[in-house]
Structure 1
């Protein structure tokens, strides 16, 4: 769910705020194929199970760069429609659908709970593979370096008893259905993706021999290297330990990122995806000395800290708080005035147009001289607001005192 939220935010940034769709169509076919191949490679490296792509008929180079319903642009639009808020947290997991997959992994009503769980796992793994591949194509397009792939460490699962026999029977049944299917499966492109797996503790994933692992005494389904690891994993494992029925309920999604002092939105104000993105950036540990972020390139920003005129920082933060809470036009124009004042002093090499464009995206407004005059006067911050923002600043600084990326603490407001 976290990865889907990130992909939706990235898709909105490219399709709604940039001209990615037009630029993609202008690319020559060879370039698009290279980008699709790079995305497939990144997806294969980052997926929990490296052969998940065999169940993803969408993920072929021909499909991704072509004009079908399953090309790159249409897949991105499909997941954007699932959650257009773009706040990087989806409330419900989106499962990609395809006729071939529905045929192969249809679940009869009389199936056992173990078979249902086994089939649902395939849906989850293929969705994860699609999400990582789409993100990989977008990142490759923008020349974002790929993180080093991490070897897959698979915790051992039960291999004996009735449950193991039922699991094996389900796997054999699925393989037989694949053989009888009229839909061809091309596994040739997956041959190089051999899994790097080994026996490991469920909690710490430390590589070890099977004889050194101990099973959970209650369910016999998970293995640990020590009692300490078992105790550490128990709050999560107890949700499933000993259960014999399958009833898929997604885990509750994490709340959207909110920095210390982030205001709650008033009932009638709906934050745009761009504003959620700003809030997300300000919530990062290395942004706790930052007052605002401005787009530099996809996934990267230039951060600023208000310095002039003296005392303007707290006023800017009060205006930021009001704007993020209600979309207050006077507050937006107050922030803009402070930024333009600094720019005119030569504090940084931004432009007024860059500031305006950012606020237009985040607050879904059009900034014009007429609009600035019509917005009305900005009510000066109260002493209570100034004290609260000063306290929020100190709390943000304190939250990252020991963070490796921390900057020197500012001495003035």
Structure 2
């Protein structure tokens, strides 16, 4: 007798509830748990990735419709400039540590356990620094085993790929660099007929994704060099009115990171980034999306903002900074001699000396990406002019006698009991600064071998006096203005 046939019941079957991922642990109190949560999500998303499926505009959930095209254009412009600045800093640090330092050798010799510690610290620092922590979901590169392994997307390869974008080390980046990954490119693909709003949303998403990667690399280099880290405060440029309108007055963020940002957010001017109370900032009357601290900042920003104010279509070119800055310099900064390559540390020195509050300063010490200590030598002492001439020669060609002359002048008076010079810096601090900038060793032997410093000519002395006077006058003109 044949087996009995069972027919499916026509009664409606109860639907299984959708899988709800466990809440994301707080990164500050449970760093390991926080990272495991992300690693699990990335594994589910990319470990079985297939090049199939619809284009992004054909997906049923249209996240890209949350904001207007005007908002997306302004967001892209602001984030592009911010990312370019961050990339310049990371390239600067990467060059200093890889080309002029021992990071690659140290990393190769490091134990896997130590690499994991640094990678986790880097991921934590990167998540605190970048404006879009959630976009780590779209960074298959940001898994610890991948970062510390020997694959295509490990730490060293990512850093070298970034260096290749701007190998000069001057922090001058002509255009934004975007890391690419085939899985991400496929997942974000769209047709030629896709709406401009979707194209703008994809561009903004790629910027946020790259913030995650670049800030993680920044965090790793800082952690390797032992630099302390303090999480920054989230600065908000988007008016609350726009958020309420886009989301129906609801807070769509239910994870701990977004709640943290909303609790600690500050508002800032879109031009000068000065943090102020929301009530004291003024909105552009045209787009009603851009904050300014006053009319002066609005006027300065108009050349860029007018390209995007009220713009109803997407054009990537309009989002680029309108006036790209070249390498920093100051009044009297010499051009680079043929065949000489300035180190990233020396480019940083030049950048610090170009600041308005450094026009009367002679040199900066303990220079980091965002910190410095400067000195002023007695004036009108002869040592002042000798130092300026030596500084110009050294910056132009890397003249070793000129570097030694600067070192001797800056350390000409040392307290034998403390080893501190007249300017409050130790001899060792001054020595390390010059050694890092000119990629040399300053010892008694090297100073003897370098030969004598040629005395400044009358023309050099006259030029330095004129340069110094112009720098001082530029400060007073800014104060009076």
Q: Distance in 2 between matches of 1:205 and 1:299?
A: 22
Aligned residues: 362
1:362-401 aligned at under 5 Å gives the runs: 372-373=450-451, 377-382=454-459, 384-392=462-470, 394-395=472-473, 398=476
Please point out which of 148, 165, 170 is paired with 1:65. 148
TM-score under structure 2 normalisation? 0.62
Shift of 1:84: 0.6
Q: Structure 1 residues 387 and 353 mapped into 2: Cα distance closer, same or farther (>3 Å)?
A: closer
Q: Distance in 2 between matches of 1:31 and 1:19?
A: 16
Shift of 1:38: 2.3
3-state secondary structure, aligned to 1:90: coil
- Structure 1, unaligned runs of 5 or more: 165-189, 403-413
Give the conservation status (yes or no) of the 8 Å contact 1:201–1:223.
Answer: no
Q: Distance in 1 between matches of 2:267 and 2:373?
A: 42
Q: Give 1 or 2 for the bigger CA radius of gyration.
A: 2
Shift of 1:94: 0.5
Q: Structure 1 residues 387 and 205 mapped into 2: Cα distance closer, same or farther (>3 Å)?
A: closer
Please point out which of 119, 124, 131 is paired with 1:48. 131
In structure 2, the residue matched to 1:93 is 176
Please point out which of 334, 357, 380 is paired with 2:435. 357
Shift of 1:385: 1.6
Q: Distance in 2 between matches of 1:289 and 1:130?
A: 38
Please point out which of 154, 158, 172 is paired with 1:75. 158
Please point out which of 239, 243, 246 is paired with 2:311. 243
Give the conservation status (yes or no) of the 8 Å contact 1:32–1:65.
Answer: yes
Shift of 1:100: 1.1
- Structure 2, unaligned runs of 5 or more: 1-83, 247-253, 416-420
Q: Distance in 2 between matches of 1:278 and 1:29?
A: 35
Q: Structure 1 residues 298 and 21 mapped into 2: Cα distance closer, same or farther (>3 Å)?
A: farther
Give the conservation status (yes or no) of the 8 Å contact 1:216–1:224.
Answer: no
TM-score under structure 1 normalisation? 0.70
Give the conservation status (yes or no) of the 8 Å contact 1:8–1:80.
Answer: yes
Write out per-residue CA displacement over residues 105-155 of structure 1, whole angstroms, 9 at most, x where no aligned residue: 123223232221111111111112211111112222333232343235343
1:143-162 aligned at under 5 Å gives the runs: 143-151=226-234, 153=236, 154-155=238-239, 156-157=241-242
Give the conservation status (yes or no) of the 8 Å contact 2:405–2:453.
Answer: no
Give the conservation status (yes or no) of the 8 Å contact 2:116–2:144.
Answer: yes
In structure 2, the residue matched to 1:193 is 257
In structure 2, the residue matched to 1:258 is 329
Q: Distance in 1 between matches of 2:342 and 2:353?
A: 15
Q: Distance in 2 between matches of 1:199 and 1:389?
A: 41
In structure 2, the residue matched to 1:128 is 211
Q: Distance in 2 between matches of 1:223 and 1:63?
A: 39
3-state secondary structure, aligned to 1:53: helix
In structure 2, the residue matched to 1:222 is 289
Shift of 1:388: 1.0
Please point out which of 327, 330, 344 is paired with 2:397. 327
Shift of 1:283: 3.1
Give the conservation status (yes or no) of the 8 Å contact 1:306–1:313.
Answer: yes
The alignment status of 1:111 with 2:217, answered yes or no, reads: no
Q: Distance in 1 between matches of 2:268 and 2:363?
A: 43
Alpha-carbon RMSD across the aligned residues, in angstroms, is: 4.4
Please point out which of 109, 116, 119 is paired with 1:26. 109
Please point out which of 316, 339, 344 is paired with 1:273. 344
Give the conservation status (yes or no) of the 8 Å contact 1:334–1:378.
Answer: no
Q: Distance in 1 between matches of 2:411 and 2:297?
A: 57
Greater Cα offset, 383-392 or 55-64:
383-392
Give the conservation status (yes or no) of the 8 Å contact 1:261–1:392.
Answer: no
Greater Cα offset, 198-207 or 278-287:
198-207
Q: Distance in 2 between matches of 1:291 and 1:199?
A: 36
3-state secondary structure, aligned to 1:193: helix
In structure 2, the residue matched to 1:186 is none
In structure 2, the residue matched to 1:314 is 385
Q: Distance in 2 between matches of 1:61 and 1:90?
A: 29
Give the conservation status (yes or no) of the 8 Å contact 1:318–1:385.
Answer: no
Give the conservation status (yes or no) of the 8 Å contact 2:126–2:212.
Answer: yes
